[in-house]
Structure 1
Amino acid sequence: MKNASLILNVVLAIAVAVLYYLHFKDRQPETASSVTVPAEAKGRSIVYVNVDSLLTKYDFFKDTQKVLESKRFQLENDLTSKGRNLQNKVAFFQQRAATMTQEQGRATEASLQKEQQDIMAYRERAAQNLAAEEQEKNKQLYDQIYDYLKKQNAQNKYEFVLGYTKGGGILFADPSGDQTSKVLAGLNKEYKEKQTKK
């Protein structure tokens, strides 16, 4: 969960930087002669999203976590089954070793060692595949949040959308700038619409 929180913080920081860049890239610097002071100076539009709430309440993230947990559990069960099977073969070999010829014993021992190496290689491949899938899901999570914030920013014109986590880089956030529930509602709505289209 901490990894996902850290990844989401980095993602939101990048999203903020991109939004900042997009907002200011087309502005031309004003010359001193054309500067006018408005009667009422407008403050910067800075809002934040509580990252912890986003992770625990965003349906895409919850569904993704369930799928990944299920795959981890399935992998552990598969490895346990393969390990138990190998242990049974080793125990059977140890019982029959006295009745085998030396050549049969060596061949059986080599076969068991190869099976153990195959299980270890399978575990490594499966762990790498699971890590790659998790990384892809985190990228999808980032993309969905970024795309949604970009669409929302077309209407709201926020200069910054910060990711807030307790104990993170932001020490205090005024609750009036909290857009978590609004963002969550929009993200979950879009996710449900995509799910119904499938």
Structure 2
Amino acid sequence: MKNASLILNVVLTIAVAVLYYLHFKGPQAETDSAVKSPVEAKGRAIVYVNVDSLLTKYDYFKDTQKVLESKRFQLENDLAAKGRNLQNKVAFFQQRAATMTQEQGRATEASLQKEQQDILAFRERAAQGLASEEQDKNKQLYDQIYDYLKKENATNKYEFVLGYTKGGGILFADPSGDRTSKILAGLNKEYQAKQTKK
């Protein structure tokens, strides 16, 4: 009985060893051959557009930036004028405070505080409006680029059009895949056509 138990344990140990060997040796051989001979991925073309160049040379983006910069400048001028006006009123109040009654002083002080709050509220609303307009313009920019690429892709059949920026997620891009100038020329041509219609 002891011998039968010993023989059974030896047979089971050998069976486990063989199964262990077959289980871990089989897939390893396949992965070794895959590593030795890389398989080239077959697919359609993958191209890229240099986003920095696209933005600095796309006429729509340049025009939009000029308009937004002009609005920012106008807002800063309006706020500066309102601030100077309030400072003048405060200085005038401080000069005249000695000749005013307490009630007149409180009323004038309350009026000046309200005017200051109105200026702060105006600045907040204007900044939010400008940020919202900038967001809308960025969405329009993205939509124009996307729509143009979609039309362009009808003939070229690119699988991907990547956005490349130095220091971005793509570490290297082969210059043969750069379609920036072609896409930029097409976008500017479409934008100029829209501008002449207006």
Q: TM-score range by the shorter chain?
A: 0.7 to 0.9
- Please tell me the residue identity of whatever aligns with 2:162: L
What amino acid sits opposite 1:146 in the alignment? Y
Which structure 2 residues correspond to residues 71-150 of structure 1 after superposition, within 5 A? 71-150=71-150
Q: Distance in 2 between matches of 1:48 and 1:187?
A: 15
Partner residue in 2 for 1:48:
48
Counterpart Cα distance in 1 of 2:169 and 2:105:
63
Counterpart of 2:152 in structure 1 is 152
Tell me by how many angstroms 1:42 deviates. Answer: 5.6
CA distance in 1, matches of 2:152, 2:103: 73
Rounded to whole Å, the distance in 2 between the matches of 1:118 and 1:43 is 61
Percent of residue pairs bearing the same amino acid type: 91
Alignment partner, residue 177 of structure 1: 177
Q: CA deviation at 1:44?
A: 3.0
Alpha-carbon distance in structure 2 between the residues aligned to 1:158 and 1:144: 18
Instruction: Describe the SS at the equivalent of 1:74.
Output: helix
Q: Deviation per CA, 1:77-108, whole angstroms, max 9, x where unpaired?
A: 00000000000000000000000000000000
**Between Structure 1 and Structure 2, whose CA radius of gyration is higher?**
2
TM-score by length of 1: 0.79
Aligned equivalent of 2:5: none
Give 3-state SS (helix, strand or coil) of 1:162's partner: strand
2:163 aligned partner: 163
Partner of 2:57: 57
* Higher share in helix: 2
| Corresponding pairs, count | 158
The answer to whether 1:190 aligns with 2:185 is: no
d(CA) in 2 for partners of 1:86, 1:43? 67
CA contact (8 A) 2:44 2:157 kept: no
CA distance in 2, matches of 1:43, 1:116: 63
Question: Shift of the alpha carbon at 1:43?
Answer: 4.7
Query: Structure 2: how far apart are the matches of 1:87 and 1:60?
Result: 40
CA distance in 2, matches of 1:46, 1:152: 14
- The answer as to whether partners of 2:54 and 2:184 remain within 8 angstroms in 1 is yes
| Cα distance in structure 1, aligned partners of 2:181 and 2:43 | 23
Taking structure 2 as the reference length, what is the TM-score of the superposition?
Answer: 0.79
For the residue of structure 2 that corresponds to 1:49, the secondary structure is strand
| Matched residue type, 1:187 | L
Counterpart in the other structure of 2:11? none
